[in-house]
Amino acid sequence: MNPTFEAVLRSWPSEPWLSAALLATAGVYLRGWLALRGRDPERWHAGRLAAFMAGLGTIFLALASPIEPFSGLLLQVHMLQHLLLMMAAPPLIWLGAPFFPLLRGLPAVVRRDWAAPVLRVRWLRRGFERLTHPCVALPLFAGATWLWHAPAVYEAALERDAWHYLQHACFLATALLFWHPVVRPYPSRPRWSRWLLVPYLIAADLQNTVLAALLTFSGHVWYPHYAEAPRVAGVSALADQAAGGALMWAPGSLAYLGPLFAIGLAQLCGTGERRGKASDAPRQARRLQGERAARPKRGAAPFDVLRIPLLGRFLRWPRARIALQLPMLVVAAAMIYDGLRGPQIGPMNLAGVLPWIHWRGLLVIGLFAAGNVACMACPFTVPRRLGRRWLPAAWNWPRRLRSKWLAVSLLATFFWAYEQFALWDNPWRTAWIAIAYFAAAFVVDGLFRGASFCKYLCPIGQFNFVQSLVSPLEVKVREAEVCAACHTKECIRGSPSVPGCELQLLVPQKSSNMDCTFCLDCVHACPHANVGILAVAPGHALWSETPHDSLGRLAGRTDLAALCVVLVFAAFANAAGMVAPVVHGLDRLRSAAGPHQAAWVTPGFYLATLVLGPIVLVGAAAAFSCGLSAGPRAWLHTARRFAYALVPLGFSMWLAHYSFHFFTSYDAALPVIQRFAGDLGLPFAGEPRWVCGCCRPAADWLLHAEILALDFGLLLSLYASYRIAVSPSQRFWRAVRALAPWALLIALMYFAGIWILLQPMQMRGTMPGA
Amino acid sequence: MHPPTGNKPRMTRIARMKKIRVIRVIRAICGSCFFLVALSLLCTSARGDGGALRLSQRIGGRMVSVFTSPTPLRAGRVDVSVYVQDAASADPIGRAEVFVTAAPLDRHGESIRRRATVDQATNKLFQAAEFDLPEAGRWRFSIEADDPRQPGALSFEADLAGPPPRWRALAPWIGWPWLVIAAFISRQFLLHHSSNFRLKRLRKL
């Protein structure tokens, strides 16, 4: 085979974004086309689908095939690329009548809440109608063609990628406008005679012919780029230009004159207009509406984890939780043993690696991907079964302590202690913290009824409860009617074999993951098998006005709001405490403060970031929000209500931070396990490979993923605050003013998060090097 | 007579015209900003190979053309593509052993040598080598197209601008949520205005 031809066949550029966009468009069209074809197969025939797909395929061919890399070497190839974008792809796309299929193919929420209202906007529709008028579309099309073929502009497009992309976008956009009146895709209405298209297409052909002739018969090379470029297959620059002109001339003319001939013939034969073709659109819409109304409404059952074949069966098994807890208990026991007896170097000890790299990383990934699976497999609650056997377990938790304030203070203390005592590098203290956890769960749940430790004390539990507000899964009832008819309420009272919910959550009234440990006791106790782990919209509970079971209305709970705020700010403070500028700043403060005052720097940092900062920022946002909106609510109520909107951003920061450590050091556990096994006299694991325990530079994709997490956190936080602001009683502009300070605060926190992610971060729990 | 439209005094025609003009200006500014942002995002990307032609020279019986990207050259990732042809037939010589060396001229530093291969090139006529050049300044690129029969070397010098700020590489990742937010705000305003417009018309009726 000719080597040039072989190279052409192998030169496929990688265009993942273009391919993804085209695939997504094709998928949406196909979905909509299938739905429409089910109702009206005559109108939505296979030809439309084929035409639209061919249009997308033509765009792919022009931009992501060997044509693209060779367009810089040969003008004729570049001309072919432009012809595909201007004369092949647009009419094919319009022949597919893409308006309805693309609209119908969108998810219902997007179609109903986003696309439909925008498409109803009068000036947008009118603007499109004006742009597709022959008197506007033709000058635009011809103008773009001539402008981009001017030597200086063409050269700029060849030199700079941005101009090249703009050139292609311009060609495609103006060509779509140009071909719209020619194809007149359904449901556009005839606004002028088809005879008008005869001069329209002739004029388009004329300008194309003139430009093509100028190129073909020119005695010099128009574009210096091609004059300097190496010759491919022995074609000279001038011959290449002539070939490019001829390509523009002959197939170009065919593209204009073919439709002209067809339209003229149809007009002469009287088959050009199917009268009533467009006017029957409203009738069709009415018919479809009638069909829709007559059809029985079918609520789509949400995704239920318990219905997944193997996993669902396992989770429905009453001993599923203990089966998950026992391995965790073994790991915790090994970690405690190694923390107390093993080497007191964090990266060499199970207590230095497993809790601070792996467990934290897996916990946030679990919360992001599923729900509160960490509480489900929590090992600390296993010994409480013994506690309940040996201790009375008969007292009620003191009424004064039935709030989250104790947990808030424990959490703040924990974040401070982590930094103050360098817990990640202190296996002995980490082991003692785990022992304290076991002892506290044993004593509290042995003395008091219910799961008081989980509900009121456990800092990890509170972390999981708050972050799981944005998780995609929730323990919920499948059908509300079944619960309405149920009088025994085993889900909370329990059955003889299975206890009910120990956190006193009545599942039919449960509207979020707050206080839910995913113990699945309700699933096992329900005699109607009406409780599932269902997919929900992440974060829906943040703006919900319905009272949460056993928690009441979120806006009425200052302790819950304080818990959320502390966790959100702790996400940023905890990550900031590990980045170089902050670490150096704190070190400078310590040296400036002197030996006696230096010990106060870390507590001062956490006091500022977890207590004073949140009070000032949230308080100011609430005060401005109240002042600007002149609302009747007190600022404390506003602060409480909007505090929940910050949770997604805080969670995204936790996710970005902990997953960073997990993915950069996931194999740091391997040598530690080898060392631990060796110490126990079990050398089956081999010699420790300490090189795995060294920190390594983070991959590019990880930073992108971290930013992406923060992006989604920003969007969900803004959306939650918008939903909170636009409560039914508020007017639009008042809601906007109420929202503005919170949006500003969220944006500031987002940029603070981005700044933190871009700083060099300490690789705690790993060895230096690599 | 028009019925009263709430507590707000009715807008005069001039005031309404002014408001419309302000809205149009805001729309134009927003549109321009959107366009500029989109353009700046596109500018950050560079083609894998090809790019600007640096030199095209005949060495013995071969024609060697060298392309570099991005344009203009910047510190960071730089792609050098070499096209080796038979000077007589203009057929590509894809199996030539091509090495590219980048050496800083302004200061003492280690030169970087890479083998250019067809696999690294998108256009399979070329042989491409990718460099991660650490600093801005003047660099010399030497190309060795080693042919046992006709060894030859050619070089060119190029000024590398400073590396683009890190945020530019990350701009698409940081920027896209703001486009979503802009789309959401536009939608809300459109809905608000259209519902207001409908309400006003209903009141007039």
Contacts of residue A470, Cβ cutoff 8 Å, sequence gap at least 6:
A367, A538, A539, A542, A647, A648, A651, A716
Domain ranges of chain A: 3-272, 554-758
| Segment B92-138, tens digit of pLDDT | 876 778 889 898 887 777 888 888 888 888 888 888 888 888 888 88
**pLDDT score of B194:** 67
* Residue in A closest to B83 by C-alpha: A230
For residues B94 and A45, the model is more confident at: A45
Residue A279 three-state SS: coil
Asked if residue A191 has pLDDT above 80, the reply is no
pLDDT band at B196 (very low <50, low <70, confident <90, very high): low
B32, pLDDT greater than 70: no
Per-residue pLDDT, averaged over A241-263, amounts to 88
Q: Is residue B188 part of a domain?
A: no
Query: What pLDDT was estimated at residue A693?
Result: 64
**Phi, psi at residue A106, to the nearest 5°?**
-70, 155
Sign of CA dihedral B117, B120, B122, B128: negative
Q: Where is pLDDT greater, at B10 or A692?
A: A692
Mean pLDDT of A717-731: 83
- A690, containing H or E segment: none
The mean of the pLDDT values for chain B is 74
Residue of A11, A14, A714 lying closest to B123 (CB–CB): A11
Tens of pLDDT, residues A530-541? 999 999 889 888
- Secondary structure (H, E, C), A591-605: HHHHHHHHHHHHHHH
Whether the ipTM is more than 0.85: the answer is: no
Mean pLDDT of A436-444: 91
A117/B176 touch (CB, cutoff 8 Å), yes or no: no
**pLDDT(A233) > 80:** no
Calculate what percentage of chain B has a pLDDT beyond 90. Answer: 4
The mean pLDDT value for A264-285 works out to 59
Alpha-carbon dihedral sign for residues A307, A313, A315, A317:
positive
Mean residue pLDDT of chain A comes to 87
CB contact under 8 A, B50 and A166: no
Alpha-carbon distance A243 to A151, whole Å?
17
Closest in A70, A122, A231 to B123, CB measured:
A70
Residue B8 pLDDT exceeds 80: no
**Contact across the interface for B192 and A714, Cβ inside 8 Å:** no
For residue A232, give the chain B residue with the closest CA: B90
Which chain B residue has its CA at the smallest distance from A705's CA?
B173
Amino acid A48: pLDDT? 93
Closest CA to B176 of A720, A110, A165, A707: A707
Of the pLDDT bands very low, low, confident and very high (cuts 50, 70, 90), residue A19 is: confident
- Distance from A118 to chain B by nearest Cα, in Å? 6
* Closest Cβ opposite residue B190 in set A121, A225, A703: A121
When pLDDT is cut at 50, 70 and 90, the band that residue A769 belongs to is low
Which residues does chain B have within 8 Å of residue A7's beta carbon, measured at their own beta carbons? 92, 94, 123-125
**What is the C-alpha to C-alpha distance for residues B164 and B161, in angstroms, rounded to an integer?**
8
pLDDT score recorded for residue B1: 40
| For residue A543, pLDDT beyond 90 | no
Averaged pLDDT for residues A488-515? 86
Q: What is the residue type of A373?
A: V
What average pLDDT does range A40-65 have in this prediction? 92
Instruction: Count chain A–chain B contacts defined by CB atoms under 8 A.
Output: 100
Give me the number of domains chain B comprises.
Answer: 1
Residues in chain B within 8 Å Cβ distance of A230? 56, 63, 65, 83, 85
Query: Does residue B19 belong to any structural domain of this protein?
Result: no
Average pLDDT for residues B1-18, to the nearest whole number? 58
pLDDT band, very low/low/confident/very high, at A502 (cuts 50, 70, 90): confident
Q: How confident is the model at residue A700 (pLDDT cuts 50, 70, 90)?
A: confident
Q: What 8-state DSSP symbol labels residue A698?
A: P
Cβ pair B48:A14 closer than 8 A:
yes
Tokens 């490019």 map to which residue? A244
pLDDT of residue A125: 84
Per the CB < 8 A criterion, the answer to whether A648 and A470 are in contact is yes
pLDDT at A1: 66
Find the range with the poorest average confidence among A332-346, A368-382, A728-742. Answer: A728-742
Confidence of residue B28 (pLDDT cuts 50, 70, 90): low
> The domain containing residue B155 runs over which residues?
52-160
- The per-residue pLDDT for A696 is 67
Report percent pLDDT > 90 for chain A: 44
pLDDT of residue A498: 83
pLDDT at residue A324 in the model: 93
3 state DSSP class of B110: coil
For residue range B138-171, what is the model confidence (pLDDT) as tens digits?
898 988 876 655 556 788 888 888 887 777 778 8
Q: Which candidate in B122, B127, B156, B167 is best for mutational testing of the A interface (most A CBs within 10 A)?
A: B122
Give the lowest-confidence range in A201-205, A289-293, A597-601, B23-27: A289-293
The chain B residue lying nearest A750, using CA atoms, is B174
pLDDT at A650 over 50: yes
Q: Is the pLDDT of residue A287 over 70?
A: no
Nearest C-alpha in B relative to A718: B181
Q: Among A8-22, A148-162, A750-764, whose mean pLDDT is lowest?
A: A8-22
Could you read off the pLDDT of A575-585 as tens digits, one per residue?
999 898 999 99
Q: Which of A108-117, A284-293, A582-591, A622-631 has the lowest mean pLDDT?
A: A284-293
Which chain B residue shows the shortest CA-CA distance from A712?
B177
Cβ burial A472-484 (10 Å sphere, 16+ → b, else e): bbbbbbbeeeebe
B138: CATH: 2.60.40.1930
| Residues of B in Cβ contact (< 8 Å) with A77 | none
Q: What pLDDT score was predicted for residue A311?
A: 92
Q: Reply yes or no on whether the pLDDT at A282 is more than 70.
A: no
pLDDT for A108 equals 84
Structure tokens at A614: 């949140």
User: Å from A762 to nearest chain B CA?
Assistant: 20
Mutate to test the interface with B, among A122, A158, A165 (most CBs of B within 10 A): A165
Q: How sure is the predictor about A143, in pLDDT bands with cuts at 50, 70 and 90?
A: very high
Stated as kind and residue range, the H or E segment containing A502 is: none
Rounded distance, CA B141 to CA B54, Å? 10
Note whether A118 contacts B47, CB cutoff 8 Å. no
Q: Per-residue pLDDT averaged across A489-512, rounded? A: 85
Query: A573, A609 in Cβ contact below 8 A?
Result: yes
Statement: residue A113 has pLDDT above 80 = no
- B171 belongs to a structural domain: no
Stretch A238-259: mean pLDDT, rounded?
89
Task: Give the nearest partner residue to A7 out of B47, B125, B173, using CB atoms.
Answer: B125
User: pLDDT at residue A205 above 50?
Assistant: yes
Count of residues making up chain B: 205
Q: Which of A104-108, A291-295, A603-607 has the lowest mean pLDDT?
A: A291-295
Q: Do B85 and A230 touch (CB under 8 A)?
A: yes
Q: Which residue of B has its CA nearest to A711?
A: B177
Q: In degrees rounded to 5, what are phi and psi of residue A422?
A: 45, 55
All residues of chain B having their beta carbon less than 8 Å from the beta carbon of residue A72 are: 50
Does B90 contact A7 at a Cβ distance shorter than 8 Å?
A: no
pLDDT score, position A770: 44
**How do residues A442-494 score in pLDDT, each as one tens digit?**
899 888 888 889 989 999 999 999 999 999 999 999 988 899 888 888 888 88
* Cross-strand pairs, A13: none
